[in-house]
Structure 1
Amino acid sequence: MSLADRLPHADTDPRRHGLVEDAFALATGTLLVALGFHMFKLAGLATGGTAGVAFLIHYATGLPLSAVFFVANLPFYVFAWMALGRTFTLRTFLAVAILSVETALLPRVVTISAVDPVYAAVMGGLQIGVGMLVLFRHKASLGGFGVMALWLQETRGWRAGTVQMALDAVVVAAALWVLDPMRIALSILGVVALNLVLAINHRPGRYSGF
């Protein structure tokens, strides 16, 4: 039995989110993350997780960020299905698909002529963190390392933000082969901002909605 199957399913449970609430959360969370990605891309920064891997491949090859991000998450769905259940996996797949489309379309509707790299790192990281927090609280994620972080929080009590930060550090370190030291430093700043949002706001037992 998966972790998701152990949760109560009574329609009268006040903690349970409705369909409209979940749909709104997917739209809100992915839009916030997409805007954060957009700011990172404009400033030439990277981030952690599979998104960070996608950024590095994008910078190194010129392949579309949205397509690379979608493909990079595919291997994690099997683990998510086995560890966190069907509902979580389907919501995560939907969130990644929506975010990939939004990432491709956002430059067409949002034009930013210039952005300070420090501001992009901090604000972009905060936006991505808040977006991920919204998704986490509706039993979804952006796949990749986020799935592992949530599984470790559910099974071991480890804070998802702390786990995510450790995994993100590995990805950002790999950016040394693609970005200059200043961009690396700012990328680390963005990762710290992102994970502080999760570490402070997403502790085991603090939020009971599902």
Structure 2
Amino acid sequence: MDDFQQLSKHHRDIVKASTAFIYAILVSIAMNFFWTPGHIYSSGITGLAQLINSLMTKFMPVELSTAALLFILNVPMFIIAWRAIGHRFTVYTFLAVTLSSIMIKVIAPVGLTHDPIICAIFGGAVNGFGTGTALKNGISTGGLDIIGIVLRRRTGRSIGTINMAFNSLIIIAAGFVYGWPYAFYSALGLFVNGRVIDMTYTRQQKMQVMIITNRPKTVIDSVQNRIRRGVTIVHNAEGAYQHDDKTILFTVITRYEMSELKMAMAESDPHAFVSISDTVKILGHFYEPKP
């Protein structure tokens, strides 16, 4: 058993390290293939690093690269993550940010297109997918993602929405530096980035589940063995077709847990009727596993 747990932990470490490397490649592609050629600012700390680099290039005799600034600006975020989220989470966040800084520096900019709309959409989509994939696998890309996780635990707001709220300054800065049309292009990129994060990071997408079954104890045991979720039981329901006794079970899961729910139902009551509804707003405590 100890060997299995050790092997499982080793596998998770490999997956997280690989995810950090994949994210680094994706953010470097977004930066060097789309944002830089299109004069588009990214979201959060990455966008702030771009802004500082632009201002230093225009007004100062010395400058730091966007890659170096990205790492420097994330140092306070590492401290916040270490104290408020978790040590392992911080280690992988550090790895993701470090690899990102290296890859942005190593991969040379390629001007596939200079159309700002195309650069905003595709840059936001590529970066959003990378960020969402990293968060889905329990690591952060640093910057506002860390603040977003902390605030989401306290307010229930989605990470994409929180990021957009923090990025108003980036949009205004794009207007001053590149002209106001580019502020709108950057806003488009930020919107796409936030939506793709929300679509990819399925741990935060909540779904209400209604199960109608005549084997409630078996179903509850199977679901709770696989998923750490509470279940509400409604007794004395009646099927209208055969007028047989039924029990209705209610629970709320995340989209990330959907496969576990399907397996639990297959092994406990494959003939149960299961209705699943998207977009559930939760008032009260909803357990979220720590990264």
Unaligned runs of 5+ residues in structure 2 are 58-63, 206-253, 258-288
What letter is aligned with 1:97?
T
Deviation at 1:113, TM superposition (A): 5.5
Which runs of structure 1 show a deviation greater than 4 angstroms over 4 or more consecutive aligned residues? none
2-side partners of 1:149 and 1:140: how far apart? 13
Do structure 1's residue 206 and structure 2's residue 255 form an aligned pair? yes
2:23 corresponds to 1:29: yes
Segments of 5+ residues of structure 1 without an aligned counterpart are 1-9
More strand by share: 2
Larger relative contact order, structure 1 or 2 (CA cutoff 8 Å, min sep 6): 1
| 1:72-151 equivalent positions in 2, closer than 5 A | 72-107=73-108, 111-112=110-111, 114-151=113-150
Aligned counterpart for 2:37 among listed residues 39, 42, 50:
42
1:17 to partner: Cα distance: 6.0
Q: Which amino acid aligns with 2:110?
A: T
How many angstroms does 1:83 deviate by? 0.9
Partner of 2:239: none
Paired amino acid for 1:27:
F
Partner Cα separation in structure 2 for residue 77 and residue 106 of structure 1: 25
Aligned to 2:167, the other structure's residue is in SS state: helix
Deviations 1:75-104 (CA, angstroms, capped at 9, x unpaired): 111111111110111111110000000000
Is the Cα contact below 8 Å between 2:49 and 2:70 reproduced in 1?
Answer: yes
**Which residue does 1:176 correspond to in 2?**
175
Identity over aligned pairs, percent: 26
Computed over aligned residues only, the root mean square deviation of the Cα atoms, in angstroms, reads 2.5
The aligned residue for residue 5 of structure 1 is: none
Q: TM-score, normalised by structure 1?
A: 0.85
Q: Output the TM-score relative to the length of structure 2.
A: 0.63
Q: Give 2:176's aligned amino acid.
A: W
Higher share in helix: 1
Of residues 194-203 and 170-179 in structure 1, the stretch that sits farther from structure 2 once superposed is: 170-179
For 2:195, give the aligned amino acid.
L
Report the count of equivalent residues: 199
Q: For 2:14 and 2:128, how far apart are their aligned partners in 1?
A: 22
CA contact under 8 A between 1:36 and 1:123: conserved in structure 2? yes
> d(CA) in 1 for partners of 2:112 and 2:130?
24
What code does the residue aligned with 1:134 have? T
AA aligned to 2:40 is L
Q: Pick which of 38-47 and 94-103 moved more.
A: 38-47
